[in-house]
Amino acid sequence: MNKEKRTAIFEKLRELDPEPDTELRYQSVFELLIAVILSAQATDVSVNLATDKLYPVARTPEAMLRLGVEGLTPYIRTIGLFNSKAKNIIETCRILLEQHEGKVPRTREELEKLPGVGRKTANVVLNTAFGEPTIAVDTHIFRVSNRTGIAPGKTPLEVEKRLLRLTPDEFKKNAHHWLILHGRYVCKARRPSCHECAICEWCEYRHKELA
């Protein structure tokens, strides 16, 4: 895909959604961090249902740590891998209090030292909370990048690096949200809704289908 097509795709996505944001509900950077940890292999809907009950009880690392694993688990039991996530969250809260004065760090290196935080989670926090031009490649973004031809790659890291290299600077801050929402609602895994896709005229997958 050439630069002109790639630019046209992002211009169209921006036109449709000028200020995209995550669908996870949160009121602080800490709440976002916890929600993103919980969202691994889970839907945003299921995470929001859990945090809607959890956050009124524990909105800070101190309050979450006081719950402990046993106190936290009932709130997140409906989410996949809840046992390991509960342990990671409690240990993360401990580290935030002991090493970061209770604040979420703003560097990838420090974020990735937190239990349950990998590169994707760190990228989401850096982008959504701190406005960094990072792109977290989840299954939706991986699919859209390969299917459309925006930034094909064999691994999430390869796709991420290509997106960062090929996405024009003016779109980098919001590219993560545009692509994930497009993959979630339009460019779906089994049955992409090409008939209602706003960027189909530049999509390599669509062109192959019509060939």
Least confident of 30-39, 90-99, 184-193: 184-193
Interatomic CA distance for residues 193 and 54, integer angstroms: 35
Provide the 10 A C-beta neighbour count for residue 195. Answer: 7
Provide the 10 A C-beta neighbour count for residue 170. Answer: 13
3-state SS, one letter per residue, for the chain = CCHHHHHHHHHHHHHHCCCCCCCCCCCCHHHHHHHHHHCCCCCHHHHHHHHHHHCCCCCCHHHHHHHHHHHHHHHHCCCCCHHHHHHHHHHHHHHHHHHCCCCCCCCHHHHCCCCCCCHHHHHHHHHHCCCCCCCCCCHHHHHHHHHHCCCCCCCHHHHHHHHHHHCCHHHHHHHHHHHHHHHHHCCCCCCCCHHHCCCHHHCHHHHHHHC
Give residue-wise pLDDT tens across range 6-62: 999 999 999 999 999 999 999 999 999 999 999 998 999 999 999 999 999 999 999
* Across 85-91, average pLDDT: 98
**Band of pLDDT at residue 207, cut at 50, 70 and 90:** low
Contact between 150 and 183 (Cβ < 8 Å): no
Which residues are known to be catalytic? 120, 138
CATH T-level assignment (fold) for domain 29-128: Endonuclease III; domain 1 (1.10.340)
Interatomic CA distance for residues 35 and 188, integer angstroms: 23
Q: Determine the pLDDT at residue 1.
A: 82
Q: Is 2 left (phi over 0), alpha (psi -120 to 50) or beta?
A: beta
Give residue-wise pLDDT tens across range 117-176: 999 999 999 999 999 999 999 999 999 999 999 999 999 999 999 999 999 999 999 999
Distances (CA, A) of 114 to 37, 56, 83, 187: 10, 23, 17, 32
In CATH terms, is domain 3-20+134-210 a member of 1.10.1670.10?
A: yes
Here the tokens at position 73 are 């688990």
**Band of pLDDT at residue 206, cut at 50, 70 and 90:** confident
Would you kindly state where each structural domain of the chain is located, as residue ranges?
Answer: 3-20+134-210, 29-128
| Reported pTM | 0.91
Q: Answer whether residue 208 shows pLDDT above 90.
A: no
